[in-house]
Amino acid sequence: MAKECLECRELIKGRVDKKFCSDMCRNAYNNKQNSDSTNYMRSVNNILRKNRRILLEKVEQGKGKANVHKEKLHEKGFNFNHITHTYKTQKGAVYYFCYEYGYLPLEKDFYFLVKWDSDRTE
């Protein structure tokens, strides 16, 4: 029984387990599968990446941790409406994260910025 290419539907010649007729079809198929399917998803992912870059920059400037005023984050274009996850400490403090970089709201519009310790177990 002849198999069809998953991308272009041409008949496949060669190995029995082949799914694509060429590297071009394989790449095109996988690019479609892995692309952000909507403009909304794309825009949210762009915001999250930008937030992460801003936190990374500030944390690196502070050599691992930093206290930053909300206005400084806003100047860089930080969007507080988009995060990847939260972490609640045993004392009840809630950190907001964009991937491995996060912030803890402090008093007077200051934020404590951190990088998640990958050695931490949960």
Residue of 72, 102, 70, 71 lying closest to 85 (CA atoms) = 102
Confidence of residue 122 (pLDDT cuts 50, 70, 90): low
Q: Let me know: does 68 contact 110? Beta carbons within 8 Å.
A: yes
Q: Tell me the β-bridge partners of 97.
A: 85, 102
pTM of the model: 0.69
Q: Let me know: does 48 contact 96? Beta carbons within 8 Å.
A: no
Q: What is the pLDDT of residue 1?
A: 66
pLDDT in tens, 40-59: 888 999 999 999 999 999 99
**Count of C-beta atoms within a 10 Å radius of residue 84:** 14
Percentage of the residues of the chain whose pLDDT score is greater than 90: 72
Residue 46 phi, psi (nearest 5) = -65, -40
